[in-house]
Amino acid sequence: MSNLDEAAFEQFICDWLVGSGGYDAVKIGNPKDPQPDFDTIRALDTAELFRFIGATQSAEWDKLVTLYGGDITKAQKGFADRLAKAMDARGTVDVLRHGVVDLGQTIRLAFFRPASGLSPELIERYGKNRLTVTRQLPYDPISTKTLDLCLFVNGVPVATAELKNGLTGQTVAQAIEQYRTDRDPKNTLLKRAVVHFAVDTEQAAMTTRLAGKSTRFLPFNRGHELGAGNPANPNGHRTAYLWERVWQRDAWLDLLNRFVHTEPAPKGSKQAPTTIFPRFHQWDAVLAMTAAARENGAGDDYLVQHSAGSGKSNTIAWLAHRLSSLHNEADKKVFDKVVVITDRRVLDQQLQDTIYQFEHVHGVVQRIDEDSTQLAEALTGQQARIIITTLQKFPYVTDKIDSLPDRTYAVIVDEAHSSQTGESATKLKEVLGSSDGAAAPDEPPNPAEDALAAAAAARGSQPNLSFFA
Return per-residue pLDDT of the chain as tens, 469 residues. Answer: 444 588 999 999 999 999 999 999 999 887 666 566 899 999 999 999 999 999 999 999 999 999 999 999 999 999 999 999 999 999 999 999 999 999 999 999 999 999 887 789 999 999 999 999 999 999 999 988 999 999 999 999 999 999 998 777 899 999 999 999 999 999 999 999 999 999 999 999 999 999 999 999 999 999 988 788 999 999 999 999 999 999 999 999 999 999 999 887 777 777 778 899 999 999 999 999 999 999 999 999 888 877 666 688 889 999 999 999 999 999 999 999 999 988 777 777 777 788 888 877 778 888 887 777 888 888 988 888 999 888 778 778 878 888 888 999 999 988 654 433 444 444 444 444 444 444 444 545 555 556 556 656 655 668 899 989 8
Domain containing 174: what range? 6-253
* Cα–Cα dist 176/444, whole Å: 43
Q: What angle do CA 11, 55, 44 make, to 5 degrees?
A: 50
- Model pTM greater than 0.85? yes
How many residues make up the chain in this entry? 469
Among 237, 253, 269, identify where a domain stops: 253
Q: Are residues 307 and 452 in the same domain?
A: yes
Q: Are residues 284 and 421 in the same domain?
A: yes
User: What per-residue confidence (pLDDT) applies to 198?
Assistant: 98
DSSP 279: -
Residue 91 inside a domain? The answer is: yes
Question: How many domains would you assign to the chain?
Answer: 2
Q: Are residues 310 and 228 in the same domain?
A: no
Residue 243 inside a domain? The answer is: yes
Residue 260 inside a domain? The answer is: no
Q: Are residues 105 and 191 in the same domain?
A: yes
User: What per-residue confidence (pLDDT) applies to 457?
Assistant: 65
Q: Are residues 185 and 295 in the same domain?
A: no
Burial pattern 385-398, b for ≥16 Cβ within 10 A else e, equals bbbbbbbebbbbbb
Q: Are residues 200 and 312 in the same domain?
A: no
Residue 440 inside a domain? The answer is: yes
Which CATH number covers residue 359? 3.40.50
Residue from 328, 316, 404 nearest 365 by CA: 316
User: What per-residue confidence (pLDDT) applies to 65?
Assistant: 98
Residue from 463, 323, 338, 327 nearest 406 by CA: 463
Q: Report whether 200 contacts 168 (CB < 8 A).
A: no
Q: Are residues 284 and 377 in the same domain?
A: yes
User: What per-residue confidence (pLDDT) applies to 185?
Assistant: 96
Q: Are residues 311 and 451 in the same domain?
A: yes
* Cα–Cα dist 230/120, whole Å: 40
Among 238, 253, 268, identify where a domain stops: 253
Q: Are residues 363 and 284 in the same domain?
A: yes
Q: Are residues 224 and 292 in the same domain?
A: no
Residue 20 inside a domain? The answer is: yes
Check the CA dihedral 209-210-211-214 and report its sign. Answer: positive
Residue 203 inside a domain? The answer is: yes
Amino acid at 24: D
Among 253, 287, 322, identify where a domain stops: 253
Q: Report whether 175 contacts 242 (CB < 8 A).
A: no
Q: Are residues 63 and 204 in the same domain?
A: yes
User: What per-residue confidence (pLDDT) applies to 383?
Assistant: 82
User: What per-residue confidence (pLDDT) applies to 438?
Assistant: 42
User: What per-residue confidence (pLDDT) applies to 313?
Assistant: 85
DSSP 79: H
Q: Are residues 243 and 286 in the same domain?
A: no
Give the H or E element holding residue 203: none
Residue 266 inside a domain? The answer is: no
Residue 268 inside a domain? The answer is: no
User: What per-residue confidence (pLDDT) applies to 432?
Assistant: 43
